[in-house]
Amino acid sequence: MANGILKGKKGIIFGALNDKSIAWQVSLKAHAEGAEFVLTNAPIAMRMGEINNLAATCGNAQIIPCDVSKDEDMQNLVTKSMEILGGKIDFVLHSVGMSMNIRKGKSYTELDYKFMHDTLDISAISFHRLMKTLYNDDAMKNEGSILALTYIAAQRVFPDYSEMADAKSLLESITRSFGYHFGKRNKVRVNTISQSPTVTTAGSGVKGFGTFVDYAEALSPLGNANAEECADYVISMFSDYTKKVTMQNLFHDGGFSFTGFSEDVFNVGK
Ligand SMILES: NC(=O)c1ccc[n+]([C@@H]2O[C@H](COP(=O)([O-])OP(=O)(O)OC[C@H]3O[C@@H](n4cnc5c(N)ncnc54)[C@H](O)[C@@H]3O)[C@@H](O)[C@H]2O)c1
């Protein structure tokens, strides 16, 4: 289906851990659409080595390690990306999330606050850190596009999504707040895409995730959106066809967010 809609565009893609990752699918499609980009992930994630295979498939894309909670890593990433790509950047995907409380099985009523600080920093404040670095270095091309991925637990309660709901609320707020400044100065779009539950490493860490997926599938008139379909939407948001969409939380969930009832829900788990 590639039409070259990102031909000549340059970007940075965070968060491709393995072929299940949403960012992995975005990378494959961005390459197919003619974009050139740098891949990045946490140094610890690099050790698994799978990102090297992705880079080779994407025209030998360069990989720059970056722990999103570190200012110096973020600065290094932006500086080096501009060197590698030969100038300013057209698009950035923030596809990063981590909750130590969820990993350790701590319920929402028993949160460890050190872990919670890390969750908010890695999953939300890092989006501000990224945009601040891009903004201060004047690294974005005019009419560029910056995206992060979020989940509907920012608006509705999904008890086992725990503190990640708070992180996603903050992420969506930062999107609007920074979107104003980037829009005013550079006509850069800043948005979040609120994606269906998707079977990935991060997604599967949430308790009862399988039931979650089945429930959402049953409630959504179009069914759940998978990682590849999410990647298609991301590509359209990086393209020149969406230049006036900004400061939005865009639901990409098969209609889940606006459906109150579906008979199919009664069959989940039967
Ligand atoms: N899978 C779902 O159901 C779902 C639904 C809606 C939104 N999302 C969001 O999509 C995004 C991508 O997640 P995914 O589902 O593709 O899972 P994933 O596990 O493949 O991706 C998460 C990424 O975050 C990276 N990361 C964690 N800590 C980091 C750090 N300190 N520095 C840099 N990178 C770090 C991981 O290495 C990994 O690549 C996340 O923001 C997630 O919350 C996922």
Residue 2 lies in a domain: no
Residue 93 lies in a domain: yes
- Each residue's pLDDT, cut to its tens digit, for the chain (270 residues) gives 789 999 999 999 999 999 999 999 999 999 999 999 999 999 999 887 799 999 999 999 999 999 999 999 999 999 999 999 999 999 999 999 999 999 999 999 999 999 999 999 999 999 999 999 999 999 999 999 999 999 999 999 999 999 999 999 999 999 999 999 999 999 999 999 999 999 988 888 888 888 889 999 999 999 999 999 999 999 999 999 999 999 999 999 999 999 999 999 988 877
| Test site for ligand 1: of 149, 156, 213, 251, most ligand atoms within 8 A of the Cβ | 149
Domains in the chain, number: 1
Residue-number span of the structural domain to which 44 is assigned? 10-267
The pLDDT of residue 96: 98
Residue 5 lies in a domain: no
Ligand 1 atom nearest to CA at 206: 3
| Test site for ligand 1: of 48, 72, 92, 98, most ligand atoms within 8 A of the Cβ | 98
Ligand 1 atom nearest to CA at 18: 20
Task: Report how far apart the first and last C-alpha atoms of the chain are (Å, whole number).
Answer: 38
CA of residue 263 to ligand 1 center, whole Å: 32
Residue 203 lies in a domain: yes
Residue 191 lies in a domain: yes
CA distances from 113 to 71, 100, 106, 121, 207 (A): 21, 10, 11, 12, 20
Residue 169 lies in a domain: yes
The pLDDT of residue 264: 92
CA of residue 125 to ligand 1 center, whole Å: 14
SS3 letters for 120-181?
HHHHHHHHHHHHHHHHHCCCEEEEEEEEEEECHHHCCCCHHHCHHHHHHHHHHHHHHHHHHH
The CATH number linked to 247 is 3.40.50.720
- Check the CA dihedral 205-114-148-53 and report its sign: negative
The pLDDT of residue 204: 84
C-beta 234 within 6 A of ligand 1: no
Residue 21 lies in a domain: yes
Burial zone of 106 (CB within 10 Å; 0-12 exposed, 13-18 middle, 19+ buried): middle
Whether this prediction's pTM lies above 0.85 is answered by yes
Task: Output DSSP code: residue 21.
Answer: S
> Would you state the structure tokens that stand for residue 130, as one six-digit string?
């990224």
Residue 235 lies in a domain: yes
